[in-house]
Structure 1
């Protein structure tokens, strides 16, 4: 009989709920506990999802039936919770960003390597059907020479979003703004499809919010290691917010994605399946996912696929597809954007 993995979640907020829903749908997983330092939040979460609740991290980690910990806390606490999981011999999945400091990410990866446990990140967009098809086309060389990539996140968050979170919009706990919190999924997709980034020149500003320390608007020009150019533009200052866009172009093809749908799919070497892809997947989505409401369109399906791959990695004793090293890449890009914006200089990675 296949092993059933006991999961525990740290963080009883909105994303913790998505983790719980994702775990519920896995046949080889069971949610056994929630940990949150707010007693009422932990207890309410436990009742809602049918698991034990705990406010003390040591007691939570000491459970014999706990195999995998998922971290859904404020971003600035990710590494310390993941390192604690390694100390107790637990595998760990960390919500994006895997942390806000490269030094802390490296310590997290090292802690799990020494403990013999797995650590991985969450980039659920990679598990969407459009992402898989685009990546397959890249790997097949259908774009020819890659020439340009665009990651565009034109979103809106009102001031209350930052005010009620407490930690949101702070360097210490959020690690950044429109890039580190909202844009990181789109940035991860861009580097996953286009390849490593070599150089960055960027600007960041606060244009539409008060009482935040971090950027609500950012623009960066990129040079990739393969010679292609690109642009990242992310914001939480564009009312009312609309489709997150990723475009990948080469001298033999172009693909453009709006949220979870294609709005362009065209290659010089037309194949029979291309028309089927256009017929089934090319359209503008009826509503944008998270453009103005953080909860809008959030479904657990792609998180579930992300978690399923992690469990498969444990079973097969391999690295998760989104390993700690893989999840680090987008954070490195974002921190380079911040350095460029602060210094006015082009930054080399």
Structure 2
């Protein structure tokens, strides 16, 4: 358990921030921070020259090809860790040496063991650890939670959540080879369950409290080394709710279509996240899409906040983290939350492995005509 954060803020000056990793999601965090009042993005780091060039064009003063060099060279209050999962623990350790608070992309780590070491390092250094679990910041999810908390459907015996996208391979035709680490179980820690399922675990516990994994199965629709589909049966003991969770990276995304579906089947009715989409969701997304297409012809940078529905949630999550550490408070989504989602994922992997071993031992039934 993390200790209360040391209050290192003595004035109202801006928060100095560095961004470690400016690939796809790192650029979202970078542009989010650049748009925030009282936050100064002083530097960004990435091993890929093209990514550093994008950061330069976005307005970052200095870029580094090594995140450790950035942490040692810059006077930072906080750092965004948007590196591949196998670098999260090392990056937090380096940040802790410089007494820099960290906002870490999910999954927090590749395992609970690695997460425990990471959090112990942070605790000893007195730094804060936030985690980018953003589903709870989307307006459809906040609207659903508000309706549920108000008791609009009464007791909820059953709930379901599905989250699908096209994963690291992308939608064909693919112009560039995908990065190798998302398809490497050692580098990523797992497949769809760690990439997408941890978001679902987080929002479900935000709604219902502690979850217990009852059963799980993993699948591969493609010949890759990590699962691209996972189904988990859960129970929320506090509310007596049975929940099914399915996530996968096998479906081509059709943006701006919402790729997460959450339904609560209450005794007096049903709540769905789709009932709480902003009124202008599709119109706003279409406008952003047209703007991004036009930017290809004008050589301008695409608008990372379009469709704003998804990416505004990342802005809000990072802004909440910055506000918390500025006030000397624990981040609203902290390392213990990130560790909890990893524990649920590990239990799901274990349940799926047991079921798979048992299935291998079963004899095929004899069929006679």
- The TM-score normalised by the length of structure 2 is 0.78
Q: Contact between 1:156 and 1:236, CA under 8 Å: does it hold in 2?
A: yes
Q: CA deviation at 1:310?
A: 1.1
Aligned partners of 1:149, 1:24: CA distance in 2, in Å? 38
Q: CA deviation at 1:104?
A: 1.4
**3-state SS of 2:322 partner:** helix
Aligned CA-pair RMSD: 2.9
Residues 157/128 of structure 1: CA separation in 2 closer, same or farther (3 Å cut) = closer
Structure 2 counterparts to residues 278-293 of structure 1, below 5 A: none
CA offsets 1:200-240 (integer angstroms, 9 cap, x no match): 20111112x22x21111221211222221010111222356
Q: 1:164 aligns with which of 164, 173, 178?
A: 178
Residues 1:83 and 2:93 are matched in the alignment: yes
Residues 1:151 and 2:161 are matched in the alignment: yes
Q: CA deviation at 1:165?
A: 1.1
Residue 274 (structure 1) aligns with: none
Q: 2:261 aligns with which of 245, 251, 264?
A: 245
Q: Which has the larger radius of gyration?
A: 2
Aligned partners of 2:311, 2:328: CA distance in 1, in Å? 25
Aligned partners of 1:3, 1:149: CA distance in 2, in Å? 45
Residues 1:196 and 2:210 are matched in the alignment: yes
CA offsets 1:225-265 (integer angstroms, 9 cap, x no match): 2221010111222356663201123324431114xx538xx
Larger relative contact order (CA 8 Å, sep ≥ 6): 2
Q: Contact between 2:143 and 2:273, CA under 8 Å: does it hold in 1?
A: no
Aligned partners of 2:95, 2:204: CA distance in 1, in Å? 30
Gaps of 5+ in 1: 264-279, 289-294
Residue 110 (structure 1) aligns with: 120
Gaps of 5+ in 2: 1-10, 287-303, 357-369
Residue 190 (structure 2) aligns with: 176
Q: 2:227 aligns with which of 215, 225, 244?
A: 215
Aligned partners of 2:167, 2:81: CA distance in 1, in Å? 24
- The TM-score normalised by the length of structure 1 is 0.82
Q: CA deviation at 1:60?
A: 0.7
Aligned partners of 2:200, 2:279: CA distance in 1, in Å? 19
Residues 1:234 and 2:247 are matched in the alignment: yes
Aligned partners of 2:203, 2:53: CA distance in 1, in Å? 36
Structure having the larger proportion of residues in strand? 1
**3-state SS of 2:27 partner:** helix
**3-state SS of 2:185 partner:** coil
CA offsets 1:310-332 (integer angstroms, 9 cap, x no match): 12211332211101111222222
Residue 303 (structure 1) aligns with: 314
